[in-house]
Structure 1
């Protein structure tokens, strides 16, 4: 099973991924955690370039770098892990590119999707957890900011609207969770979604 977590920076993805992965590990499932960009040597170097505040870049460059990192991650880690029967949880995936570069940067959803077709092949998440949070609240949670986290509030409003637009288009895959709730309630909502997707085999 391939599970992805999405949401604006500060929405609590890292916390919820740890909680859900610990729960699944305790049930003796094989589980692999990855993040985008990153989780391979090449992808981690691309991550450094993308998040360095000194590296101003064109939206097109940003989109190509994310796609390159994704191609490496899919081929070297995600697909082999799924082929071995593992559960893979990924912190961000294609939806991030669609929203950040396609919508917020104005490149267009179709253009960004086409750019990623070679990286993805036929791979698609079984379920995507979208942690939805007001951008002002999310920004207040952030401390040391990288290049993308330093964007203006209006940028993050576009990102949030973009995520909700995608969720409206694919409600069977993208499940929206209110990230303004307490950590435990968010976790319970996330766990319920994943149980339903797995036919409640996590019970």
Structure 2
């Protein structure tokens, strides 16, 4: 029996702008780099084998090919020659080391897409609006909704209070005021 060595992952979080061949673009955030490739998280997902140009803060533009797509993240491999894949990996690992020094504790909660994505959101003014859960973690939720509320606004997502932390392409990212237990998050979680 051949035993596989565990892949070393270097976590790092930096913004990226991904450009498709048709000229459209979408925003992503890097998650980590390993021998398997560079993992990014986004509300917009490419397809496996799609080729992109990812402009990554602190790294620059890299030609990549998508090798895996999940519910809210995807993995790419660098194939361009300028900068070379080895040079990009070195830059990422150095950036990951610098970020690790800034914080000894890096907490990244598992994100899932629940079976029931429809949810009602109550805005600060009491107005009720329908929304779709893009992804969910113990610490927060990404929601697609029309006319997103302002960053900093406290809202009610289902039965959970949350504060709008950021705007995303199709809606908002909100942090729960009282995080859920990470073990309670599954495809069956209902807000």
Q: TM-score range by the shorter chain?
A: under 0.3
More strand per residue: 2
Q: Which has the higher contact order (CA 8 A, sep 6+)?
A: 1
